Structure 1
Amino acid sequence: MLVLGFLLFSRLHAAAGTSRAAATANARHLQSVERVLHLDVEPAANRWLAGHPALIQPAVYCYRLYYAVLLGVLVWVYVRHTEVYRQVRRTLLAMAVLVLPVFWALPMSPPRFALPGVVDVVAEHDLFGSTASRDLGNGQNHFSAMPSMHVGWSLWCAYAVWLALRATHPRAALLVWAFPLVMTAVVLTTGNHYVLDVAGSAALLAIAAGVAARIGSGERARVAGPVAQEQQNERQQE
């Protein structure tokens, strides 16, 4: 079911909000908001990475291969921490469902397209030699910068591990939040996302976790209802 859900998500994501004109207009509006808030750090961050060649390849690896971490965390929780697996799986699916309307309603051009002078670091130094991030006709959605799902899925990984370890290994549970912080630095410096995209990712996780918790509470209540009724009947018979 999870695999089918993500295949469907991929298809719907690819079809969502593909208007370049709308994506560019939204990106310009977002940039104006960031300027007012003094958050428009993306060009400076991109120049900083371009000036530190030793960090470019690690950044590209992180950007390209984070799906391996996502899959690894999902399998690890399923095998080793079944007590939280249903909660984190619901959260993952809720994130996928909740973000699609945003992609459809708010197409967003990334800094590498919308900001003059920003270098597409991933395309320039891709470890697979791919230029897919520049090819607008390859079937991918290049205008879904808001929110950043690289950061969103990384936040989910940290949340899942934190939920599994917080009772037994509280320090390790806190350390895992370094992963989405690193991913935030990667997406900003490589020219793929804005600061407010990252804020949108954090909001997405928080809402999805709340929705998943509510669904879980409802399921537990439905299961507990017949048991409680049976216990009440037994007490009445006594």
Structure 2
Amino acid sequence: MRSAVTDAALPLAPPPGPRRRALLPARLRPTGRPRLWVELAFSAALYFAYSRTRNLVPEHRTAALHRAADIWRAERWLHLDPELAVNHAANKVTWLIVGMNYYYATLHFVVTLGVLVWLYVRRPEHYRAARTALYAATVLALAGFTFFALAPPRFLAGQGFVDTVVAHHTWGSWDSGQVASVSNQYAAMPSVHIVWSAWSGLTLAALARRTWVRVLGICYPVVTFTVILATANHFVADAVAGALTLAVGFLLQRLLTGRPAYGP
């Protein structure tokens, strides 16, 4: 029989902490790997939504150009306007700016898709939460394109910006028929390049096991930010809006599931 002194010396178990309430019921927030066809259906739905915003481009052109001029004027007044200097400096080095043009046109999709596949295969316990944050932020961005169409800086040629894709005849020019038919050229706010690159970088930095992969994850959105300014595809304000959009995406994911995207 234990003595009273011995029992008193035993540490008491800490009381359980408060549980975060989730908006979704438990049956709608599993943690395992989802079915592939469900993920493909999500992707198709996002593409359909993007197509709807693209169809509104002709109606938004004039307003988008006026907003771009207003944002550029506001950034200059605040002295937060490195876009023109970065655009001109990069444009002087042909191999650099051509590489940035291809970076902008390709890695945006390749890296994001690659990280999604890596999560699905190698980190299935984190896939649903991280994917939910990404998709929530993307839907918010699509809403921004619909209600706040904004032209990129490269459309403000009168302000001195150089459209680097046109100037260097890079493959996939935005003025070519094929690209123009599948892209919304007035979808600068928020920057989806920042949304997706920051999500990819955070995911790799949080979940990758190799140090060099985590370092690449940290560097990737920083390089992307430089590229979107150098190619005159986005304002600084677009990048800030993209970062805030992703933050809201992670917040919505946390509210829906009651757990952090990269938690244990």
Instruction: After TM superposition, give the deviation of residue 185 of structure 1 in Å.
Output: 0.6
Task: Quickly say closer, same or farther: Cα 1:53–1:171, change in 2 above 3 A.
Answer: closer
Identify which of 150, 154, 159 aligns with 1:108: 150
- The count of residues paired between Structure 1 and Structure 2 equals 215
Identify which of 105, 121, 126 aligns with 1:84: 126
Instruction: After TM superposition, give the deviation of residue 193 of structure 1 in Å.
Output: 0.6
Identify which of 109, 113, 116 aligns with 1:74: 116
Counterpart position of 2:98: 57
Counterpart position of 1:229: none
1:141-186 per-residue CA deviation (whole Å, 9 max, x = no partner) reads 1111111111221111112223323xx5577435412111111111
Counterpart position of 2:43: 3
Is the CA contact (8 Å cut-off) linking 1:63 and 1:187 kept in structure 2? yes
After TM superposition, the structure 1 = structure 2 runs for residues 3-152 of structure 1, keeping only pairs within 5 Å, are: 3-16=43-56, 18=58, 19-66=60-107, 67-116=109-158, 117-125=160-168, 127-128=170-171, 130-133=172-175, 138=181, 140-152=183-195
2:198 is aligned with 1:155 = yes
Task: In structure 2, give the amino acid aligned to 1:4.
Answer: A
* 1: CA distance, partners of 2:145 / 2:163: 21
Q: What residue ranges of structure 2 are gaps of 5+ in the alignment?
A: 1-40, 260-264
Instruction: After TM superposition, give the deviation of residue 190 of structure 1 in Å.
Output: 0.6
* Structure 1 range deviating more: 4-13 or 76-85: 4-13
Task: In structure 2, give the amino acid aligned to 1:76.
Answer: W
- Which has more helix, going by share of residues? 1
* 2: CA distance, partners of 1:75 / 1:39: 37
* 1: CA distance, partners of 2:57 / 2:229: 22
Identify which of 236, 239, 243 aligns with 1:198: 239
Is the CA contact (8 Å cut-off) linking 2:83 and 2:236 kept in structure 1? yes
Q: Helix, strand or coil: the match of 1:57? A: helix
1:58-90 per-residue CA deviation (whole Å, 9 max, x = no partner) reads 212211111111111100011001121011110
- TM-score of the pair, normalised by structure 2: 0.74
The alignment-based identity, stated in percent, is 32
1:166-212 per-residue CA deviation (whole Å, 9 max, x = no partner) reads xx557743541211111111110111110111101100110001101
Instruction: After TM superposition, give the deviation of residue 15 of structure 1 in Å.
Output: 2.7
Is the CA contact (8 Å cut-off) linking 1:133 and 1:142 kept in structure 2? no
Is the CA contact (8 Å cut-off) linking 1:42 and 1:189 kept in structure 2? yes
Runs of 4+ deviating beyond 6 Å? 134-137
Task: In structure 1, give the amino acid aligned to 2:73.
Answer: S
Instruction: After TM superposition, give the deviation of residue 54 of structure 1 in Å.
Output: 2.5
- TM-score of the pair, normalised by structure 1: 0.82
Task: In structure 1, give the amino acid aligned to 2:63.
Answer: A
Counterpart position of 2:256: 215
Instruction: After TM superposition, give the deviation of residue 6 of structure 1 in Å.
Output: 2.5
Q: Helix, strand or coil: the match of 1:138? A: helix
